[in-house]
Amino acid sequence: MSDPIARLAALTAAAVALAALTVAVLAYRRSGARPTARLYHMNNFGPGDAKEFLIATTVTNGALGAVQVVTCEFEVRGVRGRHMVGGQGRRGPELPFRLEGHQSATWTVPAADVAELLRVYDKNPARIRAVLALGSGGTVKGGWFRFDLDKWATGVVVPAPRGGGSKQAAAPAKAKG
């Protein structure tokens, strides 16, 4: 009928293939999710858009597994206690959001929301960072960003003085005569 050695070789090959598949699946599942957050400022000065500064965070999942982002808030430090900005003014994907492996998502909040909080507490400057709650119960926090009312709340970036920063008026040039 059939050769017992060929049958044994075929069964062994099938067992090895199944074991390799099992190891690959387990390695994929163990890779989990590695989300990181980056906080930065940007402007929304395009045609047809409202002219405003935005505070933005981009969350990147650097692994193969997916992660669920449940909340995205911006923590303001420098005022009395801990205050979170987000909610109504926040823009980006609807929460909760499933972030697949090697993907990223961005949420923004108007700089005016942060500025209003700082004006209420009469505090300038302050530091702000993104805080994201995950479906697994963990949190991801971005680095701190210095928020200065004079620079970001007005929408105008104040240029540095020219000529080495000297505040003395330049002498008028002498006329040739």
Name beta bridge partners: 54.
Answer: 42, 110
Residue 167, pLDDT above cutoff 60? no
User: What pLDDT, on a 0 to 100 scale, did the predictor assign at position 172?
Assistant: 44
pTM of the model: 0.66
Asked if residue 85 and residue 4 are part of one domain, the reply reads no
Q: Of 32-46, 49-63, 130-144, which has the strongest mean pLDDT?
A: 130-144
On whether the CB atoms of residues 57 and 74 are closer than 8 A, the answer is yes
How many domains, the chain? 2
CA angle 87, 89, 90 (to 5 degrees): 70
Asked if residue 84 and residue 14 are part of one domain, the reply reads no
Does 40 reside within a domain? yes
On whether the CB atoms of residues 136 and 61 are closer than 8 A, the answer is no
**Strand boundaries in the chain, DSSP class E:** 35-43, 53-61, 67-77, 83-85, 97-99, 104-110, 126-134, 139-141, 145-147
Spatial strand order of the sheet with 53-61 comes to 35-43, 53-61, 104-110
Does 129 reside within a domain? yes
Does 82 reside within a domain? yes
Does 125 reside within a domain? yes
pLDDT band at 148 (very low <50, low <70, confident <90, very high): confident
**Residue ranges making up the domain that contains 39:** 32-153
Does 161 reside within a domain? no
Asked if residue 89 and residue 66 are part of one domain, the reply reads yes
Does 130 reside within a domain? yes
- Average confidence (pLDDT) over 99-127: 86
- For residue 62, give the CATH number of its domain: 2.60.40.10
pLDDT tens digits, one per residue of 46-74: 666 656 788 889 999 988 788 999 998 88
Asked if residue 76 and residue 4 are part of one domain, the reply reads no
Give the rounded percent of residues in the chain with a pLDDT score beyond 70.
Answer: 76
Asked if residue 84 and residue 3 are part of one domain, the reply reads no
End-to-end CA distance of the chain: 120
Asked if residue 89 and residue 147 are part of one domain, the reply reads yes
CA 73 to chain centre: 11
135 Cβ contact partners less than 8 Å away, ≥ 6 residues apart: 67, 68, 69, 70, 96
Q: State which amino acid sits at residue 134.
A: L
